[in-house]
Amino acid sequence: MSAEDFRAKSDDQLKDSLVDLKKEQFNLRFRRATGQVEDTSRIRTIRRDIARVKTVLTERAKGA
């Protein structure tokens, strides 16, 4: 997702998205350790989406 998509969501939706993304990241890391990941680029995408969500939440908290 892009930052624009995340900015369109409310704070509660962003926090829910963050929890879901972190769960998915954990599952992907676990599967990578056992050698079961088919799409390794998904790990990078998830990590960047987490950063985008955190950035939007921080911007809103600071009032920017």
Q: Per-residue pLDDT tens for 13-58? A: 999 999 999 999 999 999 999 999 888 899 999 999 999 999 999 9
Domains and CATH numbers, the chain: 3-62 (1.10.287.310)
Distance of CA 52 to the CA centre of its chain: 7
Q: What pLDDT is stored for residue 37 in this prediction?
A: 85
Query: DSSP alpha helices (H): ranges in the chain?
Result: 3-7, 11-33, 41-62
d(CA 54, CA 50): 6
3 state SS for 32-46: HHCCCCCCCHHHHHH
pTM recorded for the entire structure: 0.89
Asked whether the predicted pLDDT for residue 64 surpasses 80, the reply is no
Q: What is the mean pLDDT of residues 2-9?
A: 89
Q: What is the pLDDT of residue 55?
A: 94
